[in-house]
Amino acid sequence: MDRTILHCDMDGFYASVELLEHPELKHVPVAVCGNPENRHGIILAKNTHAKKYNVKTAETVWQAKKKCPDLHLLPPHHYKYKEYSLKINEIYQRFTDMVEPFSIDESWLDVSASLKLFGTGRQIADTLRETIRGELGLTLSVGVSFNKIFAKMGSDYNKPDGTTVISRDNYKQLLWPMDVRKMFFVGSATAEKLNKSGIHTIGDLARTDRGLLTALLGKQGGMLYEYANGLDSSPVCRYSEREKIKSVGNGTTFRRNLIGIDDIKVAVTALSDTVASRLRKYQMKGAGIKVDIKDPDFKVISRQKQLSAPTNLAEEIFREAISIIEASWKLNAPIRMLTITAINLCDENEAQQLSFFDENTASHEKGEKVERAIDDIRARFGENAITFGRVLNNDIGIDPKDNRSD
């Protein structure tokens, strides 16, 4: 029997939360940006009225104001978004314990065991939309399907404030005519490769031989074939399972050996960025950092240290990892493989707060705003939409990711 999966995606989440305290702006164009006083600040979110002027996430404030001179700008308040995210997921858990947050404003729900209590998938989706609108004053769009991927694509199909059911009977009609870029986990680089091979729509992708896709894209090719044909069987995790994560790490074997501090910094920058973004996705922080180093002779050393305060920021993880390496490794000795892991994890809402008098507080808060802005841009435009300059055009085998998958 097919599962009934919902993907719930809040509509213009940041902007909608900010407008709760600015009801006078409800019917005018509004955008949330990093620094409303800075013409070069980045647009993080916008409301429906701003979208009518083609205001886009990740463009600069001056570009947005050029399109919409009357655009009202509001600063972000990430603590508010965390609070509302928790409230929203608590509402989801009234209907099922199978709730898997995907980001601060998106979650999958498996309601297969709840149908006898609450009705069909569509009915549950509509009830959730009504409940969240009534209790929190926010709207969301919901996709309903027999797997996670199609549910996710369904939530994007009828925005804002809509429910879309993608079934075995209609998925070819609804999804296959769409541009292949609309396929979940297809980024710009992958789409370019597919287009060059004559694959322009999701239907083209589904009808292409799996072996050819694997030859073209590697493991990702087989995965995309399954997704386009509705063969995704990945489970929805219970909400409580997020708390069982003990560590978050990332490692790679390099195209060539790392030699010297410059090479090491390139590698540590990329690895720290991935670890930090995953921690923020799980809404967790690491109270310690562990570094594993393997040399060309397969000798491995492992070193770790406790932090003065838990973190999920790439810059702070980078700094601590470099400190560990400098203290435990001859910098001119070759490194074949490097792994960076955040350990001793805790919920970011329960993490030890930085002291008000800590001289690093302002720097930490600024770093958090910057990295969460990066998360927002990547969530909308793909993981390779923005990266650290140090990583660009490297020759050690670290490439920007083409999607936001773990």
In this structure, the number of other CB atoms found within 10 A of the CB of residue 62 comes to: 11
How many residues belong to the chain? 406
CB 151 within 8 A of CB 5: yes
User: What are residue 187's phi and psi, to 5 degrees?
Assistant: -90, 180
Q: Pairing mode, if any, of strands 335-347 and 248-258? A: antiparallel
DSSP secondary structure, 233-264, as one string: -PPPPPGGGGGG---EEEEEEEEEEE-SHHHH
Cα radius of gyration (the chain): 22
Q: In whole angstroms, give the CA distance from residue 259 to residue 333.
A: 6
Catalytically active residues are: 106
The helix (H) or strand (E) run that includes residue 390 is none
Find the farthest-apart pair of alpha carbons in the chain and give their distance in angstroms, rounded: 66
Strands (E), 30-127: 30-33, 43-46, 72-74, 99-103, 106-110
Question: Own/partner pairs for 90-95, CB < 8 Å, 24+ apart?
Answer: 91/128, 91/131, 91/132, 91/135, 91/136, 92/8, 92/128, 92/239, 93/239, 95/124, 95/127, 95/128
Q: In whole angstroms, give the CA distance from residue 62 to residue 91.
A: 38
Tokens coding 145: 């399907």
What is the DSSP code (8-state) at residue 391? G
Q: Nearest Cα to 17, choosing from 30, 6, 28?
A: 30
The helix (H) or strand (E) run that includes residue 66 is helix 61-67
Phi-psi bin for 301: left (phi > 0), alpha (psi -120 to 50), beta?
beta
- Cα 378 off chain centre by: 7
Q: In whole angstroms, give the CA distance from residue 144 to residue 150.
A: 8
